[in-house]
Amino acid sequence: MDGAQLWQTLIQGVVQGITEFLPISSKSHLILVGSLLDRWFGTSSTATETVELIVGLHLGTLVATIVVYWKELWSLRTRHRLLLNVIVGSIPVAIIGFAFKDWLEQTLVSPLLVGLGLFVTASFLFAGQRLEINLLEMDQMKWPHALAVGCFQTLALFPGISRSGSTIAGGLMVGLTRQAATTFSFLLSVPAVGGVVLLKGIALRHSNGLAIGQLLFGAVISFAVGIVALRFLIRLVTQRKLHWFAWYCLLLGTVVTAWQLSP
């Protein structure tokens, strides 16, 4: 790993660690930052190398989620109703992800769609905070609530739409308390992100892309930064400050869309 690769991996690891948990779309930022870094360092990442790095970075933030929420995950062995809701909430993204896998991978790299998707994320965040009811704790959820949140999660398959933002906002809109909506969002992320990392990892196991050391370095950076970012998000959601991220998404979406539509 040369100096340019070191700095690129370090920066993208930090970006992934922050944006995977804050509701501002990690895919968007990885696409945009990756493009800018290639220009800055005069490099050109292949499609395989880009996917490999994204998988490595998501592995780091997946482990961060498990570390922060290990008590809740471990409790699923006795909280059968919650376990059922996690399974039900995971079904929509699995179906849509498999059915439209090839098409979604092609749209993932479109900066214009990233900009437009950020407007959708902002709308969800504003709506979630405005329409929150704060009635249900996680163990009071019924399967239709879980299915509704799971449907919100499928929207995050599109570039620019934040997984955490859409699921937290969806949880608030179906009646969950702020803490329950946040926790359930990240419980859903474990099978969703874990499944993608596993399948992509298997598909790439024989590729001749990035060195294993570079992937592990990126994973460690995204893990360390991710733990800090996730704890920060939990505090902000309970303080009813999702609108901060909505305004950020509106601003970034405007800049990216204008950039892509400019002659």
pLDDT, tens only, 132-157? 888 899 999 999 999 999 999 999 88
pTM, two decimal places = 0.88
**Cα–Cα distance, 100 to 92 (Å, whole number):** 12
**Cα–Cα distance, 162 to 155 (Å, whole number):** 8
- Using alpha carbons only, what angle is made at residue 18 by residues 27 and 53, rounded to the nearest 5 degrees? 50
- Residue 25 region by backbone torsions, left for phi larger than 0, else alpha for psi between -120 and 50, else beta: left
> Does pLDDT of 209 surpass 90?
no
> Does pLDDT of 165 surpass 60?
yes
> Does pLDDT of 125 surpass 90?
yes
Cα torsion at 91, 94, 95, 97 (round to 10°)? 150
Q: How far is CA 97 from CA 111, 131, 191, 207, 221, in A?
A: 20, 28, 13, 23, 27
- The single-letter DSSP state of residue 69 is T
| Band (2; pLDDT cuts 50, 70, 90) | low
- The single-letter DSSP state of residue 136 is B
| Residue pLDDT, tens place only, 31-73 | 788 778 877 876 666 555 666 778 888 899 999 999 999 999 9
Q: Maximum distance among all alpha carbons in the chain?
A: 58
